[in-house]
Amino acid sequence: MSKFLKACAGALLVASPALADGYGLGRPALTEEIAAWDIDVRPDGMGLPEGSGDVFTGEEIFSEKCAICHGDFGEAVGRWPQLAGGFDTLTDQRPVKTIGSYWPYLSTVYDYVHRAMPFGDAQSLPADDVYAITAYLLYLNDIVDDEFELSHENFAGIRLPNEDNFFLDDRAEVELTALSGEVCMENCKDSVEITMRAAVLDVTPEETKARQLKDAVEAVRNPKPKIDATADMAEAPAEEPAEEATMQMASIDTELAAAGEKLFRQCKSCHQVGAGAKNRSGPVLNAIVGRTAGALEGFRYSRPMQAAGEKGLVWTEDELAAFMANPKTYMKGTKMSFRGFKSDADAKAVIEYLKTFDSAEM
């Protein structure tokens, strides 16, 4: 036996009386050490520290600490998680699981922000800042208004929209019983067939889309002649919509629209356009020019936007340009946290691009 092993054996013999009391390792945790770990928050509010924070303060902190990953209004940047929107998407093939559409308890929001955020600087935020960020996230998900203040006193009264769809795990009583019979190991089905295939949509490169846009407008402006065997049949009324569409498309500045398509990338995480477009954290923008504000069916607008529409606000090109320049100055209380385009020219280019989606049914 080597001298090293002999020394180790001797040390074990000396320490042996302590083994029965805990292997002779460590010490009881101090009260302060336990408190540093005991930071979880329950759905009923137990574990919350005293404090409060309002939506406006939360927006400022979120913009500084969180927006670089999650976007200015929770729409997500790159592959970071989306925090707002996704309402009514849980039955879709690709559901958008956000605080507003999926999470069951507000305590999970507070606990996670407090415990793990900001990324790389976890647990650096004081309680009031966490309350403020949580309030802002509620606002982004249309659960509270812009004047709301969250605190340890009213916290337990906030309910997230999807809470009722969560329930206690009953698999031990239900699934286990159903699946406890004899297990089939071979020839379990008479035949096997493919019922669906995976698909990823909207993968057309941006430059290809721009080319398609130019080609479409050019085709309307300079249609190729074609032979019509029924030319002598009177169908003037049926041709009117086509003439109207031709005039509308011909009025579009294709170069400006192509520039607007590139700028619209700043909007795509929240707004969709074109065939099959769906509402996200922002509404579909097909046929937005000339539409009454807050009037798209199926989208939950902020209260200020609904009120503006009820008062008769229509999205003309001028009104859209003013809104895009600085949304929060134009409409106090809007959920749209985008700070606005840098120039009027950029806003006009985006509007020109949106004009190419003139049909709400695309």
- Angle, helices 127-140/106-116, rounded to nearest 10 degrees: 130
CATH class of 33-165: mainly alpha
pLDDT at 16 > cutoff 80: no
Helices (H) and strands (E) in the chain, counts: 14, 2
Spatial distance between the Cα atoms of 260 and 81, rounded to a whole number of angstroms: 27
1-10 pLDDT, tens digit per residue, is: 445 444 444 5
Beta bridge partners of 314: 292
Cite the DSSP H helix spans in the chain: 3-19, 31-37, 55-65, 67-70, 106-116, 127-140, 175-178, 206-221, 236-250, 254-263, 303-310, 317-325, 327-330, 344-354
d(CA 216, CA 126): 55
Domain boundaries of the chain, sorted by first residue: 33-165, 206-219+250-354
Asked if pLDDT for residue 300 goes beyond 50, the answer is yes
- Whether residue 360 has pLDDT greater than 60: no
In terms of pLDDT, which residue wins out, 127 or 232? 127
Nearest to 336 by CA among 63, 85, 73, 54: 73
CA–CA distances in Å: residue 237 to residues 224, 234, 241? 22, 9, 8
Task: Please report, rounded to a whole number, the percentage of residues in the chain having pLDDT higher than 90.
Answer: 41
Strand partners, 307: none
Residue 39 pLDDT > 60: yes
Considering the domain delimited by 206-219+250-354, tell me its CATH architecture: Orthogonal Bundle (1.10)
Q: Using CA atoms, how far apart are residues 334 and 283, in angstroms rounded to an integer?
A: 13
Residue 128 corresponds to which amino acid?
Answer: D
| pLDDT of 143 | 94
**Looking at this protein, which amino acid is placed at residue 245?**
A
Asked if pLDDT for residue 239 goes beyond 50, the answer is: no
What is the Cα–Cα distance from 84 to 102, expressed in whole angstroms? 10
Q: What is the DSSP letter of 151?
A: E
- 64-110 pLDDT tens trace: 999 999 998 898 988 899 999 998 899 988 899 999 999 999 999 99
Report the alpha-carbon distance of residue 143 to residue 18 in Å, rounded. Answer: 58
| pLDDT for residue 20 is more than 60 | no
What does DSSP say about strands 149-151 and 52-54: parallel, antiparallel, or unpaired?
A: antiparallel
The answer to whether 33-165 and 206-219+250-354 have equal CATH topology is yes
